[in-house]
Structure formats: C-alpha cells, structure tokens
C-alpha cells in the first residue's frame, strides 16, 4: 500500500491508478490517501513503503482524482449531515378564560376578513371575464395561464406572489395585475415564474404589471432562483405611458434586470406562447434559452398593421415573426415547439440541465413535529385592533415544531418577544411584537438580530406595531423618547445590515417608524405577507385626533385611513407579497425557508471579476 501526500488538502480515501501513466512503476494500483488543510499550491509526491525517504513528482492525474473524490465526499457529507437535536422548551399556548372575550371578538373580525379574502380570490380567478376566456381559448387556441402552469410545474403547490395586485386602482381593476408571478418546482427545483394573462386587457402591461414583474425579478435575484418567463403580452398601455416607460423602476428595468441576472449566473428561460411585441420582444431575446410555440407565438418590434402603414406591404404575423422564422432564419429562439404542451416539456428539460446538486431527502423530514395547538386558533389570535392583541407566544406556539421555543432575554424588554424555534425542521429566530417597541425592547431586538446574523440563522418577524407614535408631553417624556429613538435606530441598523434571510408577516398593525425596525417593506425582507386583518398606515384609524386640531379634519382623515389601511388596499398596490390566511402561515414560512436555502445547492456560482484599473 502506498501512502500519498498532497500538501494542502484534507481528504482520506483510495484512488484507482489503473489509467495513470506511472502505473508500470507501481505494484499496487490502489493508493491510500491522507492529506491535510486546503490547497495553496499543487505540490504532489509519493512515498514507497520500501524507501520512505525517496520522493518523486506525481502526474496531474493524481491531483485530479483526489480533487474529484474530495468533491464527491463533500457533497455526500452535506447530504448526510445531521442537525443538532432540539432541546427547546415547550411554551404554553393554551388560552386562559380571561382571554376568551378578546379571542371571540378577534374571531368574528377574522371571519369577516376571511370572507373578503375568498371574494377577491374568486374575482382574481376569473381573469378578464367569461368573454375574454372564450376568445382566448376558442378563437386564439391558447391555454389559460393557470393551465400553462399546471403543465410546467411539478404540482399546484406553488407560492403565488401578489395575487391581489391590481385590484381597486384609480385606472380600474386589473386582476392579478395582468400576470401571474410566484415560485414553484420544476423538476424538483424551485423557480420563479412570470406568466402573462392575456385574458386581462389582452395582456396589456399597466404600471402595476411592470411593478409586479420587477418584484418577481427582485425575488429571483435576492434568493438566486432560476426564472421562467411565459410571454403572452400585447405591450404597454399607451394612455399611461408616462407611468410605464421613463423612470428607473419602470419598463426598461425589466431588461436591465435580465442582464444583471445573467451576470449573476441566475438562469433564465423564456417561453413565447403568444404575442411578444415592441419592448416585450426583448424579454425572450435576452433570456439564456428561449422556446417558441408555432402558430401562436410571435416576436416583432412592429406588427403587420405597422408594416402595412409604413411600407404598404401586407404580411401575416407568422411570416413576420413566427416560430419557424425565428428558429430557422433569425436564430432568436433556441427551441421550436409545434404545440404548447411540447413547449412546457422542453422547458422542463432545459431546467434539468441547470447545474444544481440537490440533497437527498432526509429521513428526519417525515418526523417533523407538528405544533401542539391547532392552526385554526390563529383566527382568534389575529388582532382586530392593537387593543385586542393577545400574548405573541400564543401565535408562536401554533407555528413552531412541537410548540417549542427558546426565549431570549425573557425578563428584559418584554414588549418584544425574541427567541429560537424550528418551523418544519428549519431553525429560525423569531422577533414578535408583544406591545410597544420601547427603549429596552429595541436594545433587545438589536442584540438578537445581530446574534442571528452572526450565526446565519434566518429571521422571522411577526409584526404588530403600535398604532401611533409616542407623544412628547413633558421633559421626562422627551428624554425617554430620545433614548427610545436612539435604541430604535440601533435596531433598524441591525435589521438593515443583517445578511441573514428575513421573512416578515404582518399579523396586526404595520404603523409608523416602528414598522421599519420590524423589517417592513422599506427594509427589503426576502418575503413580506399580510394577514387579512392587517392594517398598513402611518397611524391607525381612530388615532388621528392627537395629530389634528379640528374635528372635521380628524373625521375626514380617519375615513381616509379606514379605507387606505386595509390589507387588500395594500396588496392591490404591491406593498407586500400577498395576503395569506393565518392557518397557512406555517406552511408558507416553511416553503419560503426551503426556497431561500436552495441557493446553497447551486454548483455554478457567480464568477469573480478582475477590477478594471484605469491608467
């Protein structure tokens, strides 16, 4: 047995040298490898058992074999590794008799909000209406957008983003903003999808449509997720061109993001399954691979009517920019699909070529502990108002595995709940409002967020902030508020600078500056969801009397706040990633954590680029 020394590695195993050029020098074709540390330079030598002091250079074949086996052993160890056993205590999630009255009032309010949720959901599922659906399916011979997703994704258990976007806008209702976005599995890989719904205004892009597409691209970049575009759009809505075209975060940003995502080595695939006109033509041509459906897919800057107006020539859409032309002549598309079904099969095959190495399913996955309390109880824990809030531990006990929670600084700053728990096996740090964000609570939150960032533990914020700012009515109050502001500023800095993933769920109120410290939208969480009872505004309705002096002005302001602070008003303008039912919170959080973790399994990483030096 030969002993091999490779300076700078730490790999143990054996190598088959049957194809090595030096095999005639060796009587034994299996070598035992013992190496140390990480390689700084390639220095290889071998030692014969007969003459231990004799060293001769070894071919690069040996180094390649060692590195290959080292990578294999590393990936196997990742798949087999086992998490630390949980020793978290079980927290008391039982409802006490004194809390029943508040629970019942919250429950009644939640049932009303849930009914409103189902009403808007039904409206969104209708798309552009019955006539538009018939025209899309019968005349144009196309599949509906949700049918397309059923053929593309592994299952219907996907996370839809912004489903209520576009409802209640000044220029009318645009169901789902004219496009579906979300995250689903394709061949076992989580991917972002952006799919135009041509039944809504003919696939025309409104300002909210562009905003929704940009948000989906942001999610793909932040979590390094492959992105699939299902393009079927008639271009921008020209009467609102000033809100679509010129600014930084408007139409052109879509193409900028495509270029940046390619530089980040985030895969992008486009499926042209409908019209792709004017600026929309750049989406498939800038994607890394493009599939186009014959007969219904078209790509051109100007359509047949524009050609006739400019040159007098009559041309069909297929001859001007159909799948056959772009697959055989221009080369703009990479895959020709005779029918839509073939296009989605081709897309699934493309995704299977991506360089990801997913871990094997762990045996422990089937042994995740369910919470000791039913998720249906969250309906009564969703606060009707800030004054109807119950202990945040009751909510946490219905989200974490086995209702277990390791509280951090339990006796200090008790108006903020912080601690560690697991959600379907994922270790998370939980930060939940249990009252006002006081000076002590802010310092505690800053400490805990920094601790989670140091340990790379994802953060889950359960936000229910105070309905109005603390007023300064005396010298002592002014001093207390000053200290509070300093502490809140420290917590904001910790949240803003944390590199660990952050997920926010607004379970009650999202009001004022306190919402920033609790990782509101402005602080760029990976995902942000609202419960149907949530309120989003600078101050809550009914709290404006202290800010204005005249009663008529206060009445008018309260009416506006009542209308504009609702969860569906917020979601219609994409201030969040969607309204979710309380009972689905645990499952959605678990999916988000899985989605965020997938980037660890990508083999092809972003390349380091040499800085440009200007002389």
Please check whether residues 228 and 269 belong to one and the same domain: yes
Read off the DSSP letter of residue 242: G
CATH classification of the domain holding 415? 3.90.226.10
131 occurs within a structural domain: no
User: Which residues lie closer than 8 Å to 261 by C-beta, 6 or more apart?
Assistant: 217, 220, 221, 227, 268
The chain-wide mean pLDDT, for the chain, equals 86
Average pLDDT value for residue range 431-460: 97
199 occurs within a structural domain: yes
Higher pLDDT, 40 or 531: 531
Average pLDDT value for residue range 152-165: 96
> Which residue, 128, 240, 118, is CA-closest to 568?
118
Please check whether residues 325 and 390 belong to one and the same domain: no
pLDDT band at 279 (very low <50, low <70, confident <90, very high): confident
- Final residue in a domain of this structure, among 354, 388, 406: 354
Between helix 439-454 and helix 475-497 the angle, nearest 10°, is: 10
> Which residue, 258, 163, 148, is CA-closest to 208?
163
516 occurs within a structural domain: yes
User: Quick one: pLDDT at residue 87?
Assistant: 82
Whether 53 shows a pLDDT value over 80: the answer reads no
Please check whether residues 331 and 406 belong to one and the same domain: no
- Final residue in a domain of this structure, among 300, 323, 354: 354
Q: How many domains does the chain have?
A: 2
- The string of DSSP codes covering 95-150 is PPGGGHHHHHHHHHHHHHHHHHHHHHHHHHHTTT-HHHHHIIIIIS----HHHHHH
Whether 1 shows a pLDDT value over 60: the answer reads no
Q: Is 568 in contact with 167 (CB distance < 8 Å)?
A: yes
Higher pLDDT, 470 or 555: 555
Cα 365 to Cα 362, 369, 397, 426, 427, distances in angstroms: 6, 10, 20, 10, 14
- Final residue in a domain of this structure, among 292, 320, 354: 354
Whether 219 shows a pLDDT value over 90: the answer reads yes
Give the range among 65-79, 118-132, 375-389 with minimum mean pLDDT: 65-79
What percent of the chain is predicted at pLDDT more than 90? 71
608 occurs within a structural domain: no
Whether 42 shows a pLDDT value over 60: the answer reads no
Please check whether residues 344 and 380 belong to one and the same domain: no
Q: In this structure, what token pair is assigned to residue 485?
A: 């502001």
Q: In this structure, what token pair is assigned to residue 460?
A: 């889950």
- Domain residue limits at 386: 375-600
Please check whether residues 293 and 386 belong to one and the same domain: no
Average pLDDT value for residue range 12-25: 44
The pLDDT tens digits of the residues spanning 396-413 come to: 999 999 999 999 999 999
Average pLDDT value for residue range 145-149: 97
28 occurs within a structural domain: no
The pLDDT tens digits of the residues spanning 235-272 come to: 899 999 999 989 999 999 999 999 999 999 999 999 99
pLDDT band at 75 (very low <50, low <70, confident <90, very high): very low
The pLDDT tens digits of the residues spanning 493-504 come to: 999 999 999 999
User: Quick one: pLDDT at residue 366?
Assistant: 56
Higher pLDDT, 399 or 86: 399
> Which residue, 338, 342, 291, 347, is CA-closest to 154?
347
Q: Characterize 301-325 residue by residue with b for buried, 16 or more Cβ atoms within 10 angstroms of its Cβ, and e for exposed.
A: eebbeeeeeeeeeeeebbebbbbeb
Give the range among 11-25, 89-103, 118-132 with minimum mean pLDDT: 11-25
Read off the DSSP letter of residue 530: E
Please check whether residues 295 and 398 belong to one and the same domain: no
User: Quick one: pLDDT at residue 554?
Assistant: 82
The pLDDT tens digits of the residues spanning 356-411 come to: 998 876 555 557 899 999 999 999 999 999 999 999 999 999 999 999 999 999 99
Give the range among 18-32, 323-337, 394-408, 481-495 with minimum mean pLDDT: 18-32
Please check whether residues 287 and 417 belong to one and the same domain: no
Please check whether residues 298 and 385 belong to one and the same domain: no
Please check whether residues 387 and 341 belong to one and the same domain: no
Higher pLDDT, 98 or 367: 98
């Amino acid at each position: 047995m030969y002993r091999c020394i490779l300076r700078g590695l730490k790999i143990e195993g054996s190598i088959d040298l049957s194809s090595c050029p030096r095999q005639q020098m060796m009587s034994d074709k299996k070598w035992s490898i013992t190496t140390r540390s990480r390689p700084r330079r390639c220095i290889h030598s071998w030692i014969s058992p007969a003459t231990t002091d004799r060293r001769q250079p070894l071919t690069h074949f040996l180094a390649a074999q060692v590195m290959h086996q080292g990578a294999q052993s590393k990936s196997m160890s990742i798949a087999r590794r086992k998490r630390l056993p949980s020793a978290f205590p079980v927290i008391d999630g039982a409802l006490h008799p004194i809390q029943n009255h508040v629970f019942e009032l919250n429950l009644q309010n939640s049932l009303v909000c849930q009914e409103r949720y189902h009403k808007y959901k039904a409206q969104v599922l209708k798309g552009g209406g019955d006539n538009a659906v018939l025209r899309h399916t019968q005349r144009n011979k196309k599949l509906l957008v949700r049918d397309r997703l059923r053929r593309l994704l592994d299952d219907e258990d996907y996370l839809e983003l912004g489903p209520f976007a576009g409802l209640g806008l000044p220029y009318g209702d645009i169901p789902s903003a004219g496009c579906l976005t979300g995250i689903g599995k394709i061949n076992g890989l989580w991917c972002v999808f952006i799919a135009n719904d041509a039944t809504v205004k003919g696939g025309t892009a409104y300002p909210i449509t562009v905003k929704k597409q940009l948000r989906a691209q942001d999610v793909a970049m932040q979590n390094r997720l492959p992105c699939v575009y299902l393009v079927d759009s008639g271009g921008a809505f020209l009467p609102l061109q000033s809100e679509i075209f010129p600014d930084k975060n408007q139409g052109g940003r879509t193409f900028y993001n495509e270029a940046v995502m390619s530089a980040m080595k985030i895969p992008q695939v486009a499926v042209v399954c409908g019209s792709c006109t004017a600026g929309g033509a750049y989406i498939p041509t800038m994607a890394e691979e493009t599939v186009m459906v014959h007969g219904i897919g078209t790509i051109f800057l100007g359509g047949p009517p524009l050609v006739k107006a400019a040159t007098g020539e009559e041309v069909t859409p297929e001859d001007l920019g159909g799948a056959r032309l772009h697959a055989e002549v221009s080369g703009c598309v990479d895959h020709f699909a005779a029918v839509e079904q073939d296009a989605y099969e081709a897309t699934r095959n493309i995704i299977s070529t991506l360089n990801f190495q997913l871990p094997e399913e762990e045996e422990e996955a089937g042994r995740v502990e369910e919470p000791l309390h039913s998720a249906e109880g969250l309906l009564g824990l969703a606060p009707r108002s800030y004054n109807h809030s119950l202990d945040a531990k009751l909510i946490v006990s219905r989200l974490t595995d086995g209702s277990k929670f390791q509280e951090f600084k339990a006796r200090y700053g008790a108006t903020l709940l912080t601690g560690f728990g697991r959600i379907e096996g994922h270790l998370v740090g939980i930060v939940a409002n249990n009252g006002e964000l006081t000076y002590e609570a802010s310092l505690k939150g800053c400490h805990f967020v920094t601790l989670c960032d140091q340990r790379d533990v994802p953060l889950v914020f359960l936000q229910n902030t105070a309905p109005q700012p603390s007023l300064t009515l005396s010298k002592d109050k002014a001093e207390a508020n000053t200290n509070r502001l300093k502490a809140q500023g420290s917590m904001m800095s910790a949240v803003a600078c944390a590199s660990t993933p952050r997920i926010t769920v607004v379970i009650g109120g999202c009001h004022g500056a306190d919402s920033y410290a609790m990782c509101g939208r402005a602080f760029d969480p990976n995902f942000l969801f609202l419960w149907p009872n949530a309120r989003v505004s600078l101050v809550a309705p009914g709290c404006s009397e202290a800010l204005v002096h005249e009663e008529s002005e206060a009445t008018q302001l309260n009416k506006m706040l009542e209308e504009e602070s609702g969860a569906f008003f917020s979601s219609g303008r994409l201030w969040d990633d969607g309204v979710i039912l309380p009972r689905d919170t645990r499952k959605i959080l678990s999916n988000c954590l899985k989605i965020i973790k997938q980037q660890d399994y990508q083999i092809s990483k972003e390349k380091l680029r040499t800085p440009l030096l200007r002389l």
